[in-house]
Amino acid sequence: SFDLIGAFRTSGIGGEAIKQANYADMKSEGIEAALGAKIFTSPSFSWSTQLIFGYNRNEITNLKNQPSIFGLIGADGGPLEGYAQRGLFSLDFQGLDPLNGSPKFINDEGVVSGDVYLQSDVIKYLKYEGPIDPQYTGGFSNTFKYKDFTLSTLVTFAAGNKVRLTPSFKTSYTDLDAMPKAFLSRWEMQGDELLTNVPSILDVLEAQAFGSNYAYNNYNYSTERVADGGFVRMKQIILSYNIPSKYTKKLGLTNSSISAVGNNLFLIYSDKKLNGQDPEFFGSGGVALPIPRQFTLSLKVGF
């Protein structure tokens, strides 16, 4: 692909520092395959299965813009030549300060510090996490038939991507803030830096002495705040029953069946760092509804 359209940093002439422009070239490749089989067949029972698998990757081959640190570490990722079009990068976390439990990183000058100038275009000290879009996707379905009963299941999966955890760390908090579960493992006294990577909560005097929100904000964009975006989901289960003709004929029907369907039932696997959050829905925004769990009961008749 050539002349991709996206955000392009300019000198600011015209009143806009960021404009939409043709900013990059990209190559992509992928495959998709489907495999089905009848595992077992008998007069009263049968079992069939199908596997669908897809693989896709892309790489920026020519970038006409020099990205900043901030343009690469956000939840949406960013383009960098030689990496995925939406690649996720992180500040290199270097542990907690033994005196107050504040986080440290390798900054844009290659020095271990709490402060990192996020608008800098010196990006060589960032760590590449991976693309935010799944490279592997697919589904695995099974259908079991026993006499007049049919049970169908569909499991979907995705892998090969990373997600940025929700930014929730800062220097001070109020009673209106929702505290993440990670705070239970935070730094509280000297020596805790050997046991945990979760920063301390500074009191008012410590916060004033510390004099900066940058370290805690930077922690939100560090290697510690990344999770695997892969998942395995029980997408659908369908149980149906074909009512025998000896009953339907009495009602003047040619056929009839009843079905119970469950959609988006539960996650079989996801990264523990997500703490139960849905990786497929992750990052969709605070006003968007998550994927709903649905149950349907239906009756189908034919005359």
Per-position DSSP letters for 102-120, written without gaps between them: -EEEE-TTS-EES---TT-
Contacts of 38 (CB under 8 A, 6+ apart): 46, 47, 48
Q: In the prediction, which pLDDT does 175 show?
A: 80
Residue 172 parent element (H or E): none
Residue 10: the pLDDT is 63
Query: What dihedral angle (degrees, nearest 10) is formed by the CA atoms of 169, 103, 107, 206?
Result: 90
State residue 123's pLDDT score: 95
The reported pLDDT for the residue numbered 132 is 95
- What pLDDT score was predicted for residue 157? 97
Angstrom distance (rounded) from CA 124 to CA 122: 6
Mean pLDDT for back-to-back runs of 10 residues, the chain (303 residues): 66 66 85 96 96 96 88 91 94 94 94 92 96 97 96 98 89 78 90 94 73 82 96 97 83 86 95 88 64 92 82
CA separation for the pair 116, 105 (Å, rounded): 8
Please give the model's pTM, rounded to 2 decimal places: 0.86
**Cα dihedral 46/47/48/53 (nearest 10):** 170
Output the pLDDT for position 288.
Answer: 60
Task: Specify the pLDDT at position 169.
Answer: 85
Terminal CA-to-CA distance of the chain, rounded, Å? 54
Question: Cβ(199)–Cβ(103) under 8 Å?
Answer: yes
pLDDT at 56: 96
